[in-house]
Structure 1
Amino acid sequence: MRHFLCSAFLLIVLGACSRPDSTQIESSDTASATAPAEPMDTTRAPAVNAQSDTLKTVQRRRRFSSPSTDDEFKLVLRGPSLLAGEATFTITNSSGETIFREVLSAADLEASMVYEMKNSTATQAEREAFVRRRMDEFFADKNFRTPAVTAKDTYQAGTIDRTTWDDLRRRPDSIGFQYLVGKEDGRRIAWSPIKQQVVRIGSIGG
């Protein structure tokens, strides 16, 4: 009888050792299913960068540096918001070369709103609408003129050398472009054939 009981106990122990541990297998499967495929990279730049997001783009093709082909005038506002961004103004010729580049702040575009305000303050929505309108009108026809320098224009020292000024004055087909920065800083630029670059030919306003 004792021999029988010992044999039976031995069979039970052996059976338990050969049986798979279902609890351990289930835990391993769950961990495998939920584990990430690769370690998280906390140094990787985020997919969206608010500082480089494009908020508004205005562009127009016009004759400027060449009498036979158009240049592309473009103003691109990027940043976290319309009132806290930067607007990059570029002129690109027909060969794809950027011949002019200037960065304006959103404040540069908004500043002249003071002349149109009926109240002492403006809402955020009103300010944003003004910045959009300023961008929409940046390349309006009224801001281009031919010739770039007329006989009635006065030479402004400090903006361009006299030789380049006189050369442009002799070119009836030259094209000038003017734009406002801030409240009163009106700038006039043109393409100089003898310098082969965009030059500032004068200022308007304060």
Structure 2
Amino acid sequence: MFYPIMLNIHEKKILVVGGGEIAYRKSEKLLEFGGNLLVLSPKINNKFKMLKEKYKDNLNFRYDFYNKLYLQDVFLVVAATSSKEINKQISIDCKDLGILANIVDSKEDSDFIFPSIINNDNLTIAISTMGSFPYLSKTIRMDMEKKYKKFNKEYIDTLEKIRYLVLDQHKDKMKEIMDYALKLDIDELKNFLIKLEVNDLK
């Protein structure tokens, strides 16, 4: 059973073992959330070049085969090689060293799994079937992306300002005001914030 948790990986050292398509997809998400990645593999998918251009010093490559020595000072590991035996060994080595590991071909050997993610600046939603049927997670994610499209950074930041004003001035009407605010589009929401700032709720 996997416990859902938001993990701060900003500037944390992450080792991705493998240079194929799966390693690329995992690396892309980890970089998006600020990880500092070392991709270890004798061969690297050409798509990694685009990630290197975008994330620069946060992504580095080592063209080599897996060795336990590469686990030194690593925060977490993704084992994404094409060899079940190597992936299994990485899992064993990480457990010996107390390092969190995702083994892409074995949820039983993994300490964590990758959920399907909606990352809309200040709004992050993770969906998971606990590794049983990832396609369902993807389908739900696509539905939710449409439903919550308006909740971008500007919208969430405006909601935050409204929340603090309501807590300070209208705490007794908190639910009523916040329910109303969530129905507004961004322009209506900003106008509503102005009314709150001058304490005009008429």
- Interval of TM-score (by shorter of Structure 1 and Structure 2): under 0.3
> Which structure has the bigger radius of gyration?
1
TM-score scaled by length of structure 1: 0.22
TM-score scaled by length of structure 2: 0.23
